[in-house]
Amino acid sequence: MYAPNEEALQALRGSNIELVLDVPKDDLQRLANDAAAASQWVQDNVKNYYPDVKFRIIAVGNEVNPNASESTAPLAQYVLPAMSKIYDAIASAGLKDQIKVSTATYSALVSNPFPPSDGSFDGAAGSFMGPIIDFLKKTNNPLLVNIYPYFSRIGSPQDVSLPYALFTAPGVVAHDDQLEYRNLFDAMLDAAYAAVEKAGGPNVEIVVSESGWPSEGGDDASLENAQTYYTNLIDHVKSGSGSPRRPGKAIETYLFAMFDENQKPGAESEKHFGIFSPNKQPKYQLNFN
């Protein structure tokens, strides 16, 4: 959930569904500057529902980009202070072992993503992510990363084949020294791991907080490709094989999204990532068993 919603939180009581709950961007400055406000946010949106609602992670900000050309750049200064205050409030409630505190970043902040071992946080991204990685390391929390092979594919179709992006390549597509890559998802994940390691967090885990494929609205966006991507992503994650850089390491992954966001502004494809239509009808069948 990208912001607290009382009706949704009430509906989740007793469901046993684990929840990642975002602190919205609009709240970052206020919470960063006021520990009491952070404590009240945790009281109102977490403690009032716990343990009936199973909170897994509080994500403080989503895809905040510190680069000056991005609209979220002014918010970057508030992410870590807000994370720290939310963490302190969670700890004061005695819940730091039950509920993780992090922020969600995305692949655009990773420089030099190929080969994956060259991945790094450079420039403004480095100044932004370095202290966050240090905080996550000290508090034993994961980093959330949104990973979308779809956007890499349509951004560089001459360099990224559709089978490589959809997990359907028949063999090894790319090499990184001794590591072999058969799908782009693993390569993007490992580039993020390389960046986190260079930022001083070799043991900081990555949770893939979003990954998906649109069913219409853009190049290579179709029901068939979306179903293929989600099916193969589920199978890959469930296999427990990990990624080449982290073999055998479970990849905690969340699909984006449950429902199409038919009123979302921006590119048409952004409205069609759901596995359900807005009328709650499934667009295709997925097997999670």
**Annotated active-site positions, please?**
63, 210
| 280 vs 26: CA distance, rounded Å | 29
Return the CA Rg of the chain: 19
* Secondary structure in 3-state letters for the chain: CCCCCHHHHHHHCCCCCEEEEEECHHHHHHHHCCHHHHHHHHHHHHHCCCCCCEEEEEEEEECCCCCCCCCCHHHHHHHHHHHHHHHHHHHHCCCCCCCEEEEEEEHHHCECCCCHHHCECCHHHHHHHHHHHHHHHHHCCCEEEECCHHHHHHHCCCCCCHHHHHCCCCCCCEEECCEEECCHHHHHHHHHHHHHHHCCCCCCCEEEEEECCCCCCCCCCCHHHHHHHHHHHHHHHHHCCEECCEECCCCCEEECCCECCCCCCCCHHHHCCCCECCCCCECCCCCCC
Strands 54-62 vs 100-106: parallel, antiparallel or unpaired:
parallel
